[in-house]
Amino acid sequence: MSVKCHTWLPFLGQEIPADLTAPADIARFELEQGGVKASLTVEPAMGEGWQIAKTEDGYALRGGESGVLYGAYQLLMAKQTGAEPQAESAPRYSLRMLNCWDNADGSVERGYAGRSLFFEGGKFDYDPARMRQLARMLASVGLNVLCINNVNVRFPADQLVNTWLPELAELAAIFRPFGVRLMVSIDYSMPMRYGVDTADPLDEDVAQWWKDQAEKVYKVVPDLAGFLVKADSEGRPGPFTYGRNHAEGANMLARALKPHGGVLVWRCFVYNCQQDWRDLTTDRPKAAYEHYAYLDGQFEDNVILQIKNGPFDFQVREPVSPLLYAMPGTVKAIEFQLAQEYTGQQIDIYAMPPMWKEIFDELPADNVQAIAAVTNLGRDDNFTGHPFAAANLFAYGCLAWNPEIVPEEVIRLWAKLTYALPADQEDALVQLLMGSRRTYEKYTSPLGLGWMIYPHHHYGPNPGGYEYTPWGTYHKADRNAVGIDRTAGGTGYLLQYPEELQAKYATPENCPDELKLFYHRLRYDYVMADGRTLIQRIYDDHFEGLAETQAMAEVLAGIDLPSPDREVAAERMHRQLHNAREWCDIINTFFHRLSGVEDAQGRTIYL
Ligand code: GCU
């Protein structure tokens, strides 16, 4: 492995020979490279699970086809960290997906780690050795489905299921031995470019066209995981054009995939992005539930509804999407975003496991049957732009395998595997990462409001940026109050939840501080549980967020990271400090100008 790239697989010295194509053979090779003695038994009935027992001179590893590979990586990680491996494990979800938002032209939508790993100049363009390295990284944390192209499918990316099939097959062959199946995003209106005069899902010609196309695809890539679809969302085509609902729309495609064992992953990120801000009857977070909940039980069994973790769009703080509590008769996947679109763009440090834990503390893990995340990957040497963003990818794999992971343990494991730091520095790094989300939250938008960002690129503070836009993302701050009442007496959003959750958030007094302004419109002189006024809490959080970032910079400077991670992290911290200062000053000035209330501690708020 090149010294330019520190990953959590430092124990793997050598590239895997291309002629190893069975997961068990790769497992043997990896174990040998890592100096771990283990006998391997493949028991297909064990699926992806594995068991490890100690023997006289090493270990006995049993597992299903890819289970043995997952188990082998566990053995290697245990050796690397000096821990004893777990005795057995099996994944909670059978589909553990990564969604790449890579475009055929080589750009990556919301990509913060360089250009696409797969495409450039309107065609496939990748380094096979790098692909194998990526496949290894994914397998080492048990990720098993990789959707390689953006959900916003633009020509020529639609050719992935057409003229690019031979190249798709070549790429699939690289990932296959690692138990990673490819998936592709498709364009719902595609039949119309091939002589069908509609994309109406109930039209027989449309259904037949997709059936034929699926047959062509599966002839070439027989284990393709399936299709991913963004329909009727942010300008994408979909069944609404023909007066059809999304069960009708999804089922047509699902039937085309079914004979081949493919799944149809259908995203529920559907809302009106042309909203009139004057319209008080529409509340964007209500949209997904309104579009889907009533369709429960109407989807084919190979349809998976992919639902973003929150009802808006990956803000630093959102409630769990109410749709994730609904639709008991439908297969659902929760969707996270590793790409730090709204969470610092892989410039600011933002470790996600504490956020995921909060989500799964509130959402029973069995409410979903699959898990997906938008990747944070790109062509940068270190794959993720910020070297610490790799911790999110690593931890996501662990979470997809077992949603009950303990954030600090997983972050520590990543740190140990990636950098062999002295214990005090390792602690410092783990604590820095563990606190990074809370700090970011403090210096950005307050108490669950979200969206005070620059439109389009979504980095940096702009409190009025989305206020009178068609995007449905408003805070409505005036001189007295801020936030939106989403309770029964307001937009009624809260009524989409089961009753226990309604009770939790219904009154400003009960509602946890972090979401107070998501659910309630509060006056600046509203007194919080700790005795501070709302406006004072806003000022305090922002000053604290900035101070904490300054403290993070000092801690970071004291950690002896290997080069080039040290330089990359230091340069990004410099930009994070600038960002935190901008946020702190702009948000505080914004609220000070509106409210006219002075900071009780007399700190500088610019006029
Ligand atoms: C966000 C993001 C878009 C993306 C969309 C999606 O709105 O800004 O770039 O296409 O989410 O999830 O489809």
Tell me the average confidence (pLDDT) per consecutive run of 10 residues in the chain, 607 residues long: 75 89 97 97 98 97 98 97 97 98 98 98 97 97 98 97 98 98 98 97 98 98 98 98 98 98 98 96 98 98 99 98 98 99 98 98 98 98 97 98 98 97 98 98 97 98 98 98 98 98 98 98 97 98 98 98 97 98 98 98 97
Asked if residue 120 and residue 74 are part of one domain, the reply reads no
**Angle at CA 589, nearest 5°, toward 462 and 540?**
105
**DSSP at 51:** E
Asked if residue 80 and residue 100 are part of one domain, the reply reads no
On whether residue 463 sits in a domain, the answer given is yes
Total count of domains within the chain: 3
Asked if residue 119 and residue 82 are part of one domain, the reply reads no
On whether residue 318 sits in a domain, the answer given is yes
Asked if residue 333 and residue 208 are part of one domain, the reply reads yes
- Nearest alpha-carbon partner for 300 in 209, 226, 374: 226
Structure tokens at 439: 């700090």
Hunting for tokens 């005090």 — which residue is that? Answer: 424
* Active-site hit among 48, 120, 200, 341: 341
Provide Rg for the chain, Cα atoms. Answer: 24
- Per the structure, the complete domain to which residue 586 belongs is given by 446-484+521-595
**Residue 549 C-alpha to ligand 1 middle, in angstroms?**
28
On whether residue 439 sits in a domain, the answer given is no
Asked if residue 266 and residue 310 are part of one domain, the reply reads yes
Q: Which atom of ligand 1 is nearest to the CA of 101?
A: 10
Structure tokens at 250: 């999804």
* CATH number of the domain bearing residue 536: 3.90.1330.10
Q: Which atom of ligand 1 is nearest to the CA of 337?
A: 12
Asked if residue 264 and residue 154 are part of one domain, the reply reads yes
Q: Which of 89, 111, 139 is the last residue of a domain?
A: 89
Q: Which atom of ligand 1 is nearest to the CA of 152?
A: 10
Asked if residue 343 and residue 471 are part of one domain, the reply reads no
Report the nearest-CA residue for atom 12 of ligand 1.
269
Asked if residue 527 and residue 411 are part of one domain, the reply reads no
Contacts of 199 (CB under 8 A, 6+ apart): 188, 189, 190, 191, 192, 206, 237, 241, 242
**Residue 341 C-alpha to ligand 1 middle, in angstroms?**
9
Name the β-bridge partners of 52: 61
**Residue 350 C-alpha to ligand 1 middle, in angstroms?**
19
Asked if residue 186 and residue 44 are part of one domain, the reply reads no
Asked if residue 325 and residue 205 are part of one domain, the reply reads yes
On whether residue 375 sits in a domain, the answer given is yes
On whether residue 17 sits in a domain, the answer given is no
- Whether 599 sits among the annotated catalytic residues: the reply is no
* Active-site hit among 48, 102, 187, 313: 313
**Residue 454 C-alpha to ligand 1 middle, in angstroms?**
15
**DSSP at 556:** H
* Active-site hit among 223, 234, 276, 567: 234
**Residue 343 C-alpha to ligand 1 middle, in angstroms?**
14
Asked if residue 462 and residue 392 are part of one domain, the reply reads no
| Rounded Cα gap, residues 170 and 456, in angstroms | 35
Length of the chain: 607
pTM for the whole structure: 0.98
**Residue 150 C-alpha to ligand 1 middle, in angstroms?**
10
Asked if residue 409 and residue 380 are part of one domain, the reply reads yes
| Rounded Cα gap, residues 164 and 181, in angstroms | 17
- Whether 341 sits among the annotated catalytic residues: the reply is yes
Ligand 1 pocket test, candidate residues 232, 313, 454, most atoms within 8 A of CB: 313
- Which of helix, strand or coil describes residue 102? strand
On whether residue 474 sits in a domain, the answer given is yes
**Residue 313 C-alpha to ligand 1 middle, in angstroms?**
8
Q: Which of 89, 107, 133 is the last residue of a domain?
A: 89
CB atoms within 10 A of CB 51: 18
Q: Which of 50, 66, 89 is the last residue of a domain?
A: 89
Which residues form ligand 1's pocket by a CB distance below 6 Å?
109-110, 151-152, 230, 234, 269, 313, 341
Q: Residue 440 CA to chain centroid, in angstroms?
A: 17
Q: Which atom of ligand 1 is nearest to the CA of 230?
A: 13
Q: Which atom of ligand 1 is nearest to the CA of 233?
A: 13
Q: Which atom of ligand 1 is nearest to the CA of 308?
A: 12
The CB-side HSE value for 521 (13 A sphere, CA atoms) comes to: 17
On whether residue 604 sits in a domain, the answer given is no
| Rounded Cα gap, residues 63 and 65, in angstroms | 7
Report the nearest-CA residue for atom 2 of ligand 1.
110
pLDDT at 554: 98
Ligand 1 pocket test, candidate residues 103, 107, 110, most atoms within 8 A of CB: 110
Check if the beta carbon of residue 108 is closer than 8 Å to that of residue 115: yes
Q: How far is the CA of 53 from the CAs of 40, 79, 257, in angstroms?
A: 11, 14, 40
**Residue 116 C-alpha to ligand 1 middle, in angstroms?**
17
Ligand 1 pocket test, candidate residues 102, 229, 269, most atoms within 8 A of CB: 269
- Whether 19 sits among the annotated catalytic residues: the reply is no
On whether residue 29 sits in a domain, the answer given is yes
